[in-house]
């Protein structure tokens, strides 16, 4: 059985790493399974892509479609054309896509149109907010997917509500957490840790990249102002996504306790997250990692496709109104943040369950 594994953007890499490892392990044991790793090139910088391959021991991609930057439509089209050529040359038995980025949707459509069945890892999650490109990617991908691997029971219920049969849905857990648990011992401090004299529990980590927060200058400025104002003078470490950098440079926002850094590598980023007083973010994946590491997380979004990080984990949705930040910070400093628990099946064995199921399908 030949599995095409698709990866395109930063949040994909930690999700595919354990699946590839497990396929290789099964193959070494004699199982009839192989893979072809296809990087779409949606993210291409060393610090958005290359360092993840190195640190997570992901083998070099067999193909790179090199789509690069562009509008959503340009990226989608470029990936589809490139991937179609690959499939027409060598047909896989199944196309495995992960997450919700442009590459996920583009490859799922291309494969299914050529009658290659699609398996979607992290299927069925929904924010209900169709202004997010990721929500469109999730809906379109799942509409044509044949095999669903889910991170929560709720995701399976969403899929059934959309008409998918229970037999096609496999609640397996979270491969992003497989990677987190497998690499915790390897986390290490980035240079900024020493340079700024950071110490455990005495700083914040912040990440922002959603168009709703960073594309509008006033919104970005107010959010940052409020965060700095209510953080009681603790340092704030801000690894800046390329999308956010452009506006930040224009606005010239600077505070003595706000430290901008380039996007960090996986092992460095999770080191600083693990030691943070709290994380302030608009990412989805980070809310899962903070949940598992028991770090308080404030999400600057109105909705989440990962509600278990709120109902079970350490995450809270503050919305995008900057005025919501100060009261949440007060509760944090008063020691009133919830402890949280680890969601069901986020146990580090998800890739094993996925590959076992793929072998059954073969
Ligand atoms: C994408 C994903 C989002 C994910 C995020 C994490 C979609 C629709 N969105 O958003 O779900 O949370 O990645 O990073 O797929 N750029 C670089 N270097 C790179 C990659 C991008 O400079 O290696 C620049 C691009 O030129 C562009 C901007 O960053 O200006 C945004 O990149 P893009 O891939 O369009 O989407 P993201 O906002 O990163």
3-state secondary structure the chain: CEEEEEECCHHHHHHHHHHHHHHHHHHHCCCCCEEEEEECCCCCCHHHHHHHHHHCCCCCCCEECCCCCCCHHHHHHHHHHHHHHHHHHCCCCEEEEECCCHHHHHHHHHHHHCCCCEEEECCCCCCCCCCCHHHHHHHHHHHHCCEEEECCHHHHHHHHHCCCCHHHEEECCCHHHHHHHHHHHHCCCCHHHHHCCCCCCCCEEEECCCHHHHCCHHHHHHHHHHHHHCCCCCCEEEECCHHHHHHHHHHCCCCCCEEEECCCCHHHHHHHHHCCCEEEECCCHHHHHHHHHCCCEEECCCCCCCCHHHHCCCEEECCCCHHHHHHHHHHHHCCCCCCCCCCCCCCCCHHHHHHHHHHHHC
CA distance 276 to 273: 5
**Residue at 62 is within a domain:** yes
**Residue at 115 is within a domain:** yes
Q: Reply yes or no on whether 209 is catalytic.
A: yes
CA distance 348 to 18: 9
**Residue at 318 is within a domain:** yes
How many angstroms is it from 165 CA to the middle of ligand 1?
33
303 and 195 share a domain?
yes
Looking at every residue in the chain, the average pLDDT score rounds to 97
128 and 195 share a domain?
no
pLDDT in the model for residue 246: 86
How many angstroms is it from 319 CA to the middle of ligand 1?
22
169 and 275 share a domain?
no
6 and 140 share a domain?
yes
37 and 138 share a domain?
yes
Number of domains in the chain: 2
155 and 213 share a domain?
no
pLDDT in the model for residue 75: 98
14 and 121 share a domain?
yes
**Residue at 218 is within a domain:** yes
232 and 329 share a domain?
yes
230 and 133 share a domain?
no
Nearest-CA residue for ligand 1 atom 18 is 45
48 and 153 share a domain?
yes
- pTM greater than the 0.85 cutoff: yes
pLDDT in the model for residue 15: 98
How many angstroms is it from 9 CA to the middle of ligand 1?
7
pLDDT class for 120, splitting at 50, 70, 90?
very high
6 and 139 share a domain?
yes
CATH number for the domain spanning 318: value is 3.40.50.2000
290 and 354 share a domain?
no
Nearest-CA residue for ligand 1 atom 37 is 243
pLDDT in the model for residue 53: 98
**Residue at 160 is within a domain:** yes
pLDDT class for 10, splitting at 50, 70, 90?
very high
Tens digit of each residue's pLDDT (9 = 90 or more) over 157-189: 999 999 999 999 999 999 999 999 999 999 999
pLDDT class for 227, splitting at 50, 70, 90?
very high
**Residue at 340 is within a domain:** no
- Ligand 1 pocket test, candidate residues 243, 246, 282, 304, most atoms within 8 A of CB: 243
**Residue at 93 is within a domain:** yes
**What residue numbers bound the domain in which 107 lies?**
2-173+346-361
């Amino acid at each position: 059985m030949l599995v095409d594994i698709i990866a395109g953007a930063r949040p994909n890499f930690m999700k595919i790493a354990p699946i590839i490892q497990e396929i290789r392990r099964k193959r070494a044991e004699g199982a009839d399974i192989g893979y072809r790793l296809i990087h779409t090139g949606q993210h291409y910088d060393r610090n958005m892509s290359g360092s993840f391959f190195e640190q997570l021991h992901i083998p070099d991609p067999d193909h790179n479609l090199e789509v690069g930057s562009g509008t959503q439509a340009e990226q989608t089209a470029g990936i589809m054309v490139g991937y179609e050529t690959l499939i027409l040359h060598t047909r896989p038995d199944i196309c495995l896509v992960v997450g919700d980025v442009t590459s996920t949707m583009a490859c799922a459509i291309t494969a299914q149109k050529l009658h290659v069945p699609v398996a979607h890892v992290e299927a069925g999650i929904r924010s209900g907010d169709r202004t997010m490109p990721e929500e469109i990617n999730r809906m379109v991908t799942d509409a044509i997917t044949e095999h669903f691997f889910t991170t929560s029971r709720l995701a399976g219920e969403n899929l059934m509500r959309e008409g998918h049969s229970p037999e096609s849905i496999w609640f397996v857990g979270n491969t992003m957490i497989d990677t987190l648990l497998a690499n915790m011992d390897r986390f290490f401090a980035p240079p900024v840790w020493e340079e700024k004299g950071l110490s455990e529990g005495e700083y914040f980590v912040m990440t922002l990249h959603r168009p709703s927060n960073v594309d509008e200058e006033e919104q970005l400025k107010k959010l940052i102002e409020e965060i700095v104002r209510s953080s009681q003078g603790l340092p704030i470490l801000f690894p800046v996504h390329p999308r956010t950098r452009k506006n930040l440079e224009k606005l010239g926002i600077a505070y003595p306790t706000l430290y901008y850094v380039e996007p960090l590598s996986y092992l460095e980023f999770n080191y600083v997250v693990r030691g943070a007083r709290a994380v302030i973010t608009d990412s989805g994946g980070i809310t899962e990692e903070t949940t598992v590491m028991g770090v308080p997380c404030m999400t600057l979004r109105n909705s989440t496709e990962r509600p278990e990080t709120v109902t079970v984990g350490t995450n809270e949705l503050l919305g995008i109104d900057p005025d919501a930040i100060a009261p949440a910070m007060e509760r944090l400093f008063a020691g009133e943040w919830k402890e949280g628990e680890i969601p069901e099946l986020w146990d580090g064995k998800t890739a094993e369950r996925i590959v076992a199921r793929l072998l059954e399908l073969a």
